[in-house]
Copies of this chain bind each other. A is one copy, B any other.
Amino acid sequence: MGKLAIVGTVAFDAIETPFGKTDKILGGAGTFIGLAASNFNVDSAIISVVGGDFPQKYLDLMSNRNIDISGIEIVKDGKTFFWSGKYHNDMNSRDTLVTELNVLADFEPKVPENYRDADVVMLGNLHPLTQMSVLNQMTKKPKLVILDTMNFWMDCALEDLKNTIKHIDVITINDEEARQLTGEYSLVVAARKIHEMGPKYVVIKKGEHGALLFHDDNVFYAPALPLEEVFDPTGAGDTFAGGFAGYLTKTDDYSFENMKSAVIYGSTLASFSVEKFGTERMQNITDKDIYKRLEEFKSLTQFDIELA
């Protein structure tokens, strides 16, 4: 059983979908990653920053799931990062209505002393220099560093991003971002170019179309579970990453074979996350729920053809 250090936003979200809208609720990449990973009972810490307006009950919610929150800085006279978005009818695209960086603008992550030797580091979507500063605080080379990023940093901090990803093992990125980063339309070719930038493993997320894991000449594909209804996609990608990181930390096996299982666990947890607004569903998943859905993944994808 390893230790997992997570850096990422802890935030307020306000979300509007065709099914309804929320007030300010708990959100943020770090939050989704942490909640997903907590299903594996690993030692984990979230490194983040919030304002004085951040409710204690949200911090308690994390502590109660055995997440170390000593690395979440509280800026008493500051306000918590706030994002608001509205999804279109197809749920595949959204407009950002509000982005208030607030305390995130000056965020300097401080890894708690007892997490500077973490086995796995999960760098949630943040400025690549912020992600790098976390790696620089590690006193021992982690067994695995996973980085999530987005097109925004390719637009405004491409060189910093390229420098940071030299130092990581796994990148998670969506299909359009992989194409933007490499200038290649074919995801097979894009993944190979990203390998050459540093990461030995490339996870390309395709939303409702699943995710691909690339390593050398190997490819593994995990579909998204076909759902009757996607209620709120917010945090699905972070939940996927948290499940992926949590499973690997728990099993302490960083082989390609085991990463296949990690991808399936990531997809499984993401399929729960989208069922309710924000983190609501993630707060109430049982092991039994997870096993049931893993069985669904098996019957969705496993086949038996005898080859001559």
A interface, CB within 8 angstroms of B: 89-91, 185-189, 206, 209-210, 212, 218-221, 223, 226-230, 260-261, 264-265, 287, 291, 294-295, 298-305, 307-308
Contact = CB atoms under 8 A, between A and B. Distances in A.
Contacts of A228: 186, 188-189
Contacts of A302: 301-302
Contacts of A189: 228-229
Closest 10 A/B residue pairs (Cβ): A209-B209, A260-B303, A221-B223, A188-B228, A261-B305, A188-B226, A221-B300, A301-B301, A291-B307, A219-B226
A308 B290 CA distance: 10
A172 to B, nearest CB: 17
A291 B300 CA distance: 22
A209 B223 CA distance: 9
A295 B185 CA distance: 25
A185 B260 contact: no
A212 B226 contact: yes
Contact of A299 (B218, B226, B294): B218
B219 A90 contact: no
A216 to B, nearest CB: 13
A188 B219 contact: no
Nearest to A179: B90
B188 A220 contact: no
A226 B191 CA distance: 11
A221 to B, nearest CB: 5
A187 B90 CA distance: 12
A121 to B, nearest CB: 24
A261 B306 CA distance: 10
14 contacts: A89-B185, A186-B228, A186-B230, A209-B209, A218-B299, A219-B300, A221-B223, A221-B300, A221-B301, A261-B304, A264-B305, A291-B307, A291-B308, A294-B305
A267 to B, nearest CB: 11
Given A186-B228, A261-B304, 12 more contacts: A89-B185, A186-B230, A187-B226, A188-B227, A210-B223, A218-B299, A219-B226, A221-B223, A264-B303, A294-B307, A298-B305, A301-B302
Contacts of A304: 261
B300 A220 contact: yes
